[in-house]
Structure 1
């Protein structure tokens, strides 16, 4: 057992501290280094919600290579005026000549993707708007607001936010529009019972 020597003088302590301060930090033992936490990595893009692939008939959309072939600057909100199951059947019927990129179910917000975003779905009734937009159908009827459930709003808003982030589309009413706002249409959806203020707020906070 080593014998304890006399306590160091105050002068020796100060000299020792000064000598330590003069040593380059790279030569100090790791135990003396101050660890600074790094900020956690954060993705700027909203994640897409889970979707189920339910392809529309190839007779009901135009194959394309967007956004290379056409730039995207709109999301168009639709109401099906049909049940979820019937809407899928319509999109898969080659005689119907209609489709949308996505379909949101009322009861639980479940999302079916029916057309690739690269392709042009036939949903707006206006070729120019079809080429530049993503169409999202929602199960329900414009005069039956009970179909516009919390789950439907939440999952649709998350989907729209992800689409907007992917293509740099502003999350506002000028770029997230109803079918009734498409030039030349005679449609009224999503109708007066759709809560636009709530929806745009949810899109921006998804």
Structure 2
């Protein structure tokens, strides 16, 4: 029998040393096409980050009607163009382990290294510190940060009295708005506690956070907003 090694037309059962030149060329072309598609998609997401390109921002603008703008340190978040570059499909609920003023102070501290998009006070007042289109360092996990909106609440995880009626109501309206804007389902898979973020060592919002009550309020707020779309939902008093 003649030597057929290296031939793309070898008979069944004959030894083959590897793919032929034609197969390598076809495979290489396909791989090149795949890289080109990935590169195009990545450029589509990141074009606005190129030198000389500035994403338009309006100073003091808020995403949630009724929220008060007070900026977190730029060291505690990074610019993005969500949901164009990162899909938003989670809301993460936090508890400060302290007061409202404490949360604002540490989120404005560049050395803190973390901040949430929103902070909710016991009386229902809401501060927005980072735009929803940007990535806040709040969850302790890069992937979760990129895909979520973080909502901080003043109080302590071991004190049930921390979570007032006004806080629940304002936070629920806030979360309902986020879910409506990005098509996020109102359930415990998509609205989670910081404790549920993989790899975290946090325990918030703790055992006294009433999830059943909270989700009912979120669903009610979203239904009310859909029934009366001209009325902007108020997440908190100013």
- Fold conserved (TM > 0.5)? yes
Change (3 A) 1:116 1:59: same
Structure 1 Cα separation of the partners of residues 110 and 147 of structure 2: 23
- Identify the residue that residue 142 of structure 1 maps to in structure 2: 157
- Identify the residue that residue 126 of structure 2 maps to in structure 1: 111
Structure 2 Cα separation of the partners of residues 94 and 187 of structure 1: 21
1:180 equivalent to 2:171? Answer: no
- Identify the residue that residue 200 of structure 1 maps to in structure 2: 215
Alignment counterpart, residue 81 of structure 2, candidates 59, 65, 82: 65
Structure 1 Cα separation of the partners of residues 74 and 85 of structure 2: 18
Partner SS state of residue 153, structure 1: helix
Shift of 1:78: 0.3
Partner SS state of residue 75, structure 1: strand
- What are the residue-to-residue correspondences of 1:54-133 with 2, within 5 Å? 54-106=70-122, 108-133=123-148
Aligned length: 159
- Identify the residue that residue 155 of structure 1 maps to in structure 2: 170
Alignment counterpart, residue 164 of structure 1, candidates 172, 176, 179: 179
Shift of 1:48: 4.0
Shift of 1:70: 0.2
Partner SS state of residue 205, structure 1: helix
Partner SS state of residue 75, structure 2: helix
- Identify the residue that residue 44 of structure 2 maps to in structure 1: none
Runs of 4 or more above 2 Å deviation: none
Structure 1 Cα separation of the partners of residues 138 and 91 of structure 2: 11
- Identify the residue that residue 9 of structure 1 maps to in structure 2: none
Structure 1 unaligned spans of 5+:
1-46
The Cα RMSD (Å) is 1.0
